[in-house]
Structure 1
Amino acid sequence: MIPTQLLHTIGSQVKTFAKDELIFNENDNAKNYYQILSGAVKMSNFNDEGKEFIQGIFYKEQSFGEPPLFIDVKYPAHAISLDETQLFIVPKDEFLKLLQENPDIHLYFTKTLAKRLYYKAIIASEISSQEPAHRILRFLDYLKNDVYNITNSFAFEVPYTRQQIADTLGLRVETTIRAIKNLEKQGKVKIVKRKVFR
């Protein structure tokens, strides 16, 4: 994450998006860096049958959609605000200049992108070969350990809905619900007021 003070210093724009408002479309040219000040953003695309596949959900102080800025390609998915969302928006040239002038921030982005590549490799492997419960557990552990850096048992409240988990892992929502209930019976997750904890 780029410190907010630095974002203000370089004159980044802050823009508010209503719930379910499009931020950018799949195949749009990548022109800006986006960092979430408040709210949440979903990046996803649809297959030929109209089924949604969630590439990622991003929250306060996270950024999204950066890879195309580095390699001059179009966005591989569209981005939509899940709630009323405020974003810092930095033009591509300003963002790249900021990275050149701040090696520590540049290293942070390298690590962030490496984590996302690692996650994509895990998800691809799980989708092709593992049972739904195993896929879900690996996904929750990735979020808990690698994204949110939480170590205590059942201290991580999963920020995804059952539908969003299903759409991320290529599962049906009914399968996801059953698998999570089985994981609860096995003592691997807890469900409190319909919220899942790992």
Structure 2
Amino acid sequence: MIIENLLVSFGAEIKNYREEDVIFREKELPMYYYQIKKGKIKLNNYTEEGKEFIQNIFSEGHSFGESLLFVDRPYPMNAVVLEDSAIYRMSKQNFLNLIRNNPEVSLNIYECLAERMYYKYIMLYNLSFQNPVTKLKLLMDYLKSYQDHKKPYSFQIPLTRQQMASLTGLCVETVIRTIKQMEKDQIVKIERRKIYY
């Protein structure tokens, strides 16, 4: 999102995290801009019963949590490392100075935030469906829409079955059964446990 030289020139530093490390927790105040150099993180919450709800998954080149640097409110989610990661971290004040002094970066931030709002609308709409095939197909359509893979079975779904369950509000057993049914209906293809759409 923001080129690395610019990040470093405004005081960003690389922090290394291990799988399952928590970068920030729900109810903490936002203090930093985060951008992934390598690795993968998830934004999540837990229900009162302890069930995980994944809001989003980000990988190399993505930033996360930056929208909350513009308001004085605590994080409404956790950021948890999914695999060993190197992440640029920059103080809130330095981030705000960077975007004030670089209008093209501001525009990129606005585009990114608009894209994330679109994703939230799609996923919120997805929660209204009862049919698990519809829920999973909507998620897969969204993921595939950002790829050049337009042919059937040309796009490998980059999520585990558990992650798909957590993103759609389904239980993992339902996702497994539904994916098998979708394969029978020739909606997806499964090769070596990988799902192709």
TM-score, structure 1 as length reference: 0.94
Residues 78-127 of structure 1 show CA distances to partners (whole Å, capped at 9, x for unaligned) of: 11111111000011111111112222221111111112111111211221
Give the alignment of 1:141-160 within 5 angstroms. Answer: 141-146=141-146, 149-153=147-151, 154-160=153-159
Structure 1 segments of 4+ aligned residues over 4 angstroms from their partners: none
* 2:32 counterpart of 1:32: yes
- Unpaired runs of 5+ residues, structure 2, are none
How many residue pairs match? The answer is 196
Give the alignment of 1:64-83 within 5 angstroms. Answer: 64-83=64-83
Give me the CA root mean square deviation: 1.3
Report the counterpart of residue 6 of structure 1 in structure 2. Answer: 6
The letter of the residue matching 1:102 is: N
Distance 1:115 1:12 in 2: 24
Q: Which range moves more in the overlay, 51-60 or 118-127? A: 118-127
Report the counterpart of residue 126 of structure 1 in structure 2. Answer: 126
Report the counterpart of residue 58 of structure 2 in structure 1. Answer: 58
SS at match of 1:73: coil
CA-CA distance at 1:8 after TM superposition: 2.2
Report the counterpart of residue 181 of structure 1 in structure 2. Answer: 180
Q: Which range moves more in the overlay, 30-39 or 186-195? A: 186-195
CA-CA distance at 1:4 after TM superposition: 1.3
The letter of the residue matching 1:127 is: L
Give the alignment of 1:36-51 within 5 angstroms. Answer: 36-51=36-51
- Unpaired runs of 5+ residues, structure 1, are none
Give the alignment of 1:62-141 within 5 angstroms. Answer: 62-141=62-141
* 2:174 counterpart of 1:172: no
Identity of matched residues, %? 41
Report the counterpart of residue 162 of structure 2 in structure 1. Answer: 163
The letter of the residue matching 1:7 is: L
The letter of the residue matching 2:158 is: P
SS at match of 1:15: strand
